[in-house]
Structure 1
Amino acid sequence: MSEPHDETDLPLGPPEASGTPAVPEGAQTEGRRTHPLTAVVQGGLWAAGGAIGLFNAFFNGEGFGVVRGLLSLAAAVVGGLVIGLVAGYLRWRFTRYFIDGMEARIESGVVFRTSRRIPYERLQSVDIDEPFLARLFGLAELHMEMAGGSESRTTLRFLRLDEARQLRRVLLSRAHGTDVHEGQPIAEEQRTVIAVVSPDRIIVGTLLSLDFLISAGAVVLLLAAGFIIPDAWALLGGIIPAGFWVVQIVGTRVIAQWNFTLSRGARGLRIERGLLSRSSQTIPFERVQGIAVVEPFLWRKIGWQRLSVDVAGYGVSSEEESGVSDTTLLPIADPQLARAVAEELIPLSDPDAVLRVPASPRSWLFAPIGWRFRWVGATPRTFLAQEGWIQRTTDLVPHHKTQSVALRQGPLQRWRNVASVEVHTPPGPVDAVGEHLEAPTARAVALEQLDRARDLPPPSAASAPPVVTDEH
């Protein structure tokens, strides 16, 4: 899916060396500023933070009269706005970004100056976020991901949306060694839409999630108790956290995933989503370390699944347990679409086409019901592990992405003559573990996976199968 863009390019000059485009010398000494409205957006964010902090104090039981409450709210908003405007102006005034021949660089700081460097050869992806307040002014922030762990993300706030898109094209072109000359338009990469998840499906999926039903049910029960049972109004204090839980679920799963679009380009998959705040995220094919196929209990009745992906450098998101994060590949999908997308990223990973090694019947002591739903298996390209009877999860790990393999056996496992096999990947939603296999079988599985990880080369990108498209 192509994004609209104008023909205004950043001041790029002739390349200094083959495959490495250059810029005019002035860009390396003067740099470029972010948008002047950065200070206004920063002030609005601080004002909103002050108001939220005041509401939080009120909900925690701090007493406020009507007049005092209104004055406190006004003071929090005005104070936050003033502080945010001053801090935002200083940040804008002392921040410069540079697009040099070999790297991008961001210099910032009022008292202590810092210089953040992003070499093009280490640049993995460039994402665009449009926070709600910034979106009102037509601004966006740029996230640059480098190879290298938790400190690999660099953020540039705020640019005009068209400028952010143009800068993303420049950075990605340089990262892939493409020559970019002065005055040469950089066309948006051609993309094919794989799936568009409609808002009504997002809403229905949220309503059928167990945590939403539990939190909404708690609110209803507490309200009913306050009206029916004498002297039960003390229980109403639990409505606030339960209601906050409901709002959080709706915000992270409905509002954040609104108009979810997954598309495919030559360099990777792109995810665009969001109602109030919009985000555009790119997942390069070569950075995919594994996929988790999640089937919540009620979703299985109608055949829905959720796909999460291990991406090198992203790590574990604090929102992953809520079902939305940088690692959400598809929030809701039919089995056919989920299977096609998984095959696109990890070929030969069909759970129905694998010889399964089940958990030992002697492991019923550890999971009286769940042991029947645990198994591992391997195809010529992929290691698979499944567990869960309330929420079923199938983890897919390409053999050539295996970082290490562990064989674990605790005292109780030794007593039951069982052991567990762990296939390690970078931190993320994928947790490929074969729990409580027969001890000799677990050892054989671990050794075989080590051999596959060592000997099997990565698949050719040209051999990746086409994907089907879905617009539900």
Structure 2
Amino acid sequence: MSEKKRLHPVAIFISSLQGIKDMIFPYVLVLIFNGSKGNIKTNFLLLPLLLVLLTAVFGFLKWLTFRYWMEDGELRMEYGVIIRKKRYIPLERIQSVIVSEGLWQRLFGLAKVRVETAGSNEIGKADAELTAITKEEAVKLQKEIRRKKVKGAAEDPALGEAVSRGGAPDLEHAEDEEWETVFTMNMRELFLLAVTSGGVWGVIAALLAFAQELDDFISFQWIYREALFFIHEDILLVATFVILVFLAAYLAAIAQTMLKYAHFTVKRGKEELFISRGLLEKRQLSVPAHRVQGIMVKENIIRKLFGYATVVLVSAGTSGEDKYEVSGEIVIFPLIRKNQIGRFIRACLPEYTVEIGFRPAPKRARWRFIIKPVLVSVLPVCLAVWFFRPWGWVLLVLVPLSAWLGHLAYRHSGWNITGDQLALRSWFVTARTAYLFRHRIQSLEISVNLFQKRQNLGNIQANIKSGIGIAAGRGNNLDGGDLQKIYRWYSRTSREA
């Protein structure tokens, strides 16, 4: 693959579409500005044609000037319409290769490849992106990177030590590695995932953000006055409207989640995990086992009540597109029964032990868990009761609900040490259980406030590498003696290192 290659011509069309998409909002603003001057018809016809022409020309020039090839163990690129740039990425330094198939790539049998290294420092931006190449080229690139990384691990002692934590490198079989399917989701599980995802808040937030962008150009005062009129005249009509908005957002969130996680599959190789998902856009992600920093089990309130959870891997690399992958948290089991987590983790990462007992927070800490959410909720609830009278009193039910959530947080809190593995449990919005190896923990923090000190309680936080930042396992209001045990367990290894 030493000869210089262009992307597939479909990249021109994809680049042009992206450019048009980026210009839609500015175009709407120009249309609104000039609409009051009587030029709306002229702008409506001429401006879109000009924008399409400019983006098509720029997309063609971008495709024409882009070249990529592999030479001397590096992925090399030349690009730039006005200013020519060259980029060389050593293959052994590449942390992740993400192969995805969007709608246009799938129509033409192509793939999109994103390459990232430890130097990726801008959220959502990869070190290299090949928008449209053949699947054969994508597979060849993946195999070459894997072969080079394994070879580099065999030659470089530092890199070899890191790889050996996930298993000894096997250069001879690196390219013909066999994959074993360890996890899939059926339609029923996919639907349950979508129903319990809570994505409705993301849809509503997007609508509010869009409305905020238009606030300077559209008078919302009239809408606000009309809304107040309806509130005073017919509370039932307002309630019906609000319910319909939430229902529409909920259905949109369900559809979005089902499209995103359709055909979710996890496969296990000798040295890495392979995750694929998506209906309209098929995404594939390779996760080297030695890059996994820890495991997080997350349970929102609905899933916890029905015995389900989501399991994510905390990785030192980033993928750049998905909000979880940007933070270094890669979903490995989107929805799984809690009593099945241990079996699937053994199949994927046998070095971790998740079927363990937890030492709970002491009984004297129970009221601290309960009082905190109650105090947080009292003031907003009282204000809501006042502003939404006479029906606002219904919101008083949120106070005992907060107390109940605090009790659940107390029941969930705990810790465990099994050999070189630390497990911490906490609850803030969602229940989280972190499984971390001692040599992966970057720092251990113990904090005790004045009120906790009187009861010999404290909080603990174990920090690990995650994407471009830090992730953490937490334990709240644990016994002071237990905190010292965890600290001695960790500091002993620090002194030995």
Q: TM-score scaled by structure 1?
A: 0.73
Counterpart in the other structure of 1:33: 6
Alignment partners' CA distance in 2, 1:72 and 1:254: 39
Higher helix share: 2
* Mapping of residues 145-160 of structure 1, within 5 Å: 145-148=116-119, 150=121, 153-160=127-134
Q: How big is the shift at 1:441?
A: 3.0
Secondary structure of 2:261's partner? coil
Secondary structure of 2:83's partner? coil
Q: Does 1:200 align with 2:188?
A: yes
Residues 262 and 272 in structure 1, CA contact (< 8 A), matched pair in contact too:
yes
Q: How big is the shift at 1:157?
A: 2.0
* Mapping of residues 72-111 of structure 1, within 5 Å: 78-111=49-82
Summarize deviations over 1:356-401 as a string: whole Å, max 9, x none: 2525623633544223321111111311011238732211112221
Alignment partners' CA distance in 2, 1:386 and 1:57: 52
Match of 1:399 among 420, 433, 438: 438
Query: What is the identity, as a one-letter code, of the residue corresponding to 2:19?
Result: W
Counterpart in the other structure of 1:5: none
Q: How big is the shift at 1:275?
A: 0.8
Alignment partners' CA distance in 1, 2:474 and 2:300: 19
Counterpart in the other structure of 1:191: 179
Q: How big is the shift at 1:432?
A: 0.6
* Mapping of residues 355-374 of structure 1, within 5 Å: 355-358=358-361, 361-362=364-365, 364-368=367-371, 369=406, 370-374=409-413
Counterpart in the other structure of 1:330: 333
Distance change (3 Å), C-alpha of 1:71 and 1:134: farther
Residues 359 and 375 in structure 1, CA contact (< 8 A), matched pair in contact too:
no
Worse overlay, 447-456 or 236-245: 236-245
Q: How big is the shift at 1:119?
A: 0.9
Q: CA RMSD in A?
A: 4.3
Counterpart in the other structure of 1:7: none
Residues 148 and 313 in structure 1, CA contact (< 8 A), matched pair in contact too:
no
Residues 131 and 276 in structure 1, CA contact (< 8 A), matched pair in contact too:
yes
Summarize deviations over 1:317-374 as a string: whole Å, max 9, x none: 76339x9996111111233542233334554644542452525623633544223321
Secondary structure of 2:341's partner? helix
Counterpart in the other structure of 1:116: 87
Q: How big is the shift at 1:431?
A: 2.6
Summarize deviations over 1:57-109 as a string: whole Å, max 9, x none: 99xx99989x9999877767645533332222222122211201221112222
Distance change (3 Å), C-alpha of 1:291 and 1:202: same
Alignment partners' CA distance in 1, 2:261 and 2:43: 35
Counterpart in the other structure of 2:135: 161
Distance change (3 Å), C-alpha of 1:76 and 1:272: farther
Alignment partners' CA distance in 1, 2:430 and 2:79: 46
Alignment partners' CA distance in 2, 1:189 and 1:243: 47
Q: Does 1:439 align with 2:480?
A: yes
Residues 314 and 328 in structure 2, CA contact (< 8 A), matched pair in contact too:
no
Query: What is the identity, as a one-letter code, of the residue corresponding to 1:418?
Result: L
Q: How big is the shift at 1:299?
A: 2.3
Residues 304 and 333 in structure 1, CA contact (< 8 A), matched pair in contact too:
yes
Query: What is the identity, as a one-letter code, of the residue corresponding to 2:177?
Result: E
Q: How big is the shift at 1:112?
A: 2.7
Counterpart in the other structure of 1:450: 491
Secondary structure of 2:151's partner? coil
Query: What is the identity, as a one-letter code, of the residue corresponding to 2:483?
Result: A
Q: How big is the shift at 1:245?
A: 4.9
Secondary structure of 1:330's partner? strand
* Mapping of residues 108-257 of structure 1, within 5 Å: 108-148=79-119, 150=121, 153-177=127-151, 189-210=177-198, 212=200, 230=233, 245-246=249-250, 249-250=253-254, 252-257=256-261
Worse overlay, 130-139 or 264-273: 130-139
Counterpart in the other structure of 1:421: 460
Distance change (3 Å), C-alpha of 1:411 and 1:146: same
**Percent sequence identity over matched residues?**
20
Q: How big is the shift at 1:147?
A: 3.1
Q: How big is the shift at 1:32?
A: 1.8
Give unpaired runs (5+ residues) of structure 1: 1-9, 11-22, 180-185, 220-224, 457-472
Counterpart in the other structure of 1:183: none
Aligned residues between the structures: 413
Query: What is the identity, as a one-letter code, of the residue corresponding to 2:18?
Result: L
Q: TM-score scaled by structure 2?
A: 0.70
Secondary structure of 1:276's partner? coil
Distance change (3 Å), C-alpha of 1:138 and 1:377: same
Summarize deviations over 1:199-218 as a string: whole Å, max 9, x none: 332122221345549989xx
Secondary structure of 2:14's partner? helix
Greater relative CO, 1 or 2 (CA 8 Å, sep 6+): 1
Distance change (3 Å), C-alpha of 1:382 and 1:210: same
Query: What is the identity, as a one-letter code, of the residue corresponding to 1:158?
Result: A
Worse overlay, 98-107 or 440-449: 440-449
Alignment partners' CA distance in 2, 1:286 and 1:336: 26
Residues 292 and 430 in structure 1, CA contact (< 8 A), matched pair in contact too:
no
Alignment partners' CA distance in 2, 1:215 and 1:107: 39
Q: How big is the shift at 1:314?
A: 1.6
Q: How big is the shift at 1:149?
A: 5.0
Residues 293 and 314 in structure 2, CA contact (< 8 A), matched pair in contact too:
yes
Alignment partners' CA distance in 2, 1:71 and 1:274: 41
Distance change (3 Å), C-alpha of 1:306 and 1:324: farther
Give unpaired runs (5+ residues) of structure 2: 155-173, 208-227, 372-405
